[in-house]
Structure 1
């Protein structure tokens, strides 16, 4: 691993995090019925699985992303924070019964004001981080490939 390029290490770390998040998504599926809002629990389960799968795919193509080192590192951290934050925020919403930001998955559910604020802040942060990371990933994949 010491001889591994920094880019390869980031790709491997994305895949490792993706595998862990995928398993967390599977495990959270076992407890959806115990949540304050089981429908939101199902959403958390699906977020873990889909975000884990996304990280596995992103890690697999990471070596082809043509970005300067700092931007590539930024994209890595945006994806790491965005995907895990997404699963965790929706998991908390399911546990607390928060629903003001998600009327389709939580009709009629309202948690304590501070819990709603935590979920709202988390979802807004996730939206920004994943969009920014996605733009960087797309830009890095659309750039002409350097010859090796």
Structure 2
């Protein structure tokens, strides 16, 4: 797949999956009162909404990123992982009542297996999203710089 085609494909998927995640966030909101930890359920609801919006916004600006194909691919998949893992892990914590790593939302200590899974997902998704943000900032900076160089070129000044 050529670079423009790949970028368009990824952008379209980010838009679609963003709206899907937003819908999941809305739906999980209907079940907040039935969860073991309703406060964590509210967090899951908000994670779905915010991560869904993030994916939609990212899909809208995706074609402006000036980065290598390989970095674009890593960023795309890590973005999806981080966004969906965030929603899933908080929903899982709300249903089980576990989530010692999230004390503000009232997470209690669960079994070692459950806590291990929650901790693994929280740590890996945080690292993934930090990487994503750094790559996005780099790609947007390069885009701005490239646009500025294009506008400052002698041909553009002649117009």
TM-score bin, normalised by smaller chain: over 0.9
The answer as to whether partners of 1:41 and 1:90 remain within 8 angstroms in 2 is yes
Secondary structure of 1:145's counterpart equals: helix
Deviations 1:82-126 (A, max 9, x none): 00000001000111111210111015x222221111111110011
Taking the aligned partners of 1:145 and 1:90, their CA distance within structure 2 comes to: 40
Deviations 1:20-61 (A, max 9, x none): 000000000000111110000000000000000000000000
The answer as to whether partners of 1:64 and 1:145 remain within 8 angstroms in 2 is no
Taking the aligned partners of 2:13 and 2:67, their CA distance within structure 1 comes to: 17
Taking the aligned partners of 2:106 and 2:125, their CA distance within structure 1 comes to: 19
Q: Which runs of 4+ in 1 moved over 6 A?
A: none
Query: Which runs of 5 or more residues in structure 1 are unaligned?
Result: none
- Equivalent residues in 2 for 1:83-94, closer than 5 Å: 83-94=83-94
The answer as to whether partners of 1:18 and 1:52 remain within 8 angstroms in 2 is yes
What is aligned with 1:145?
146
Tell me which structure has the larger Cα radius of gyration. 2
CA-atom RMSD, angstroms? 1.5
Query: Which runs of 5 or more residues in structure 2 are unaligned?
Result: 151-159
TM-score by length of 1: 0.93
TM-score by length of 2: 0.86
- Equivalent residues in 2 for 1:48-59, closer than 5 Å: 48-59=48-59
The answer as to whether partners of 1:17 and 1:52 remain within 8 angstroms in 2 is yes
What is aligned with 2:124?
125
The answer to whether residue 42 in structure 2 is matched with residue 42 in structure 1 is: yes
What is aligned with 1:11?
11
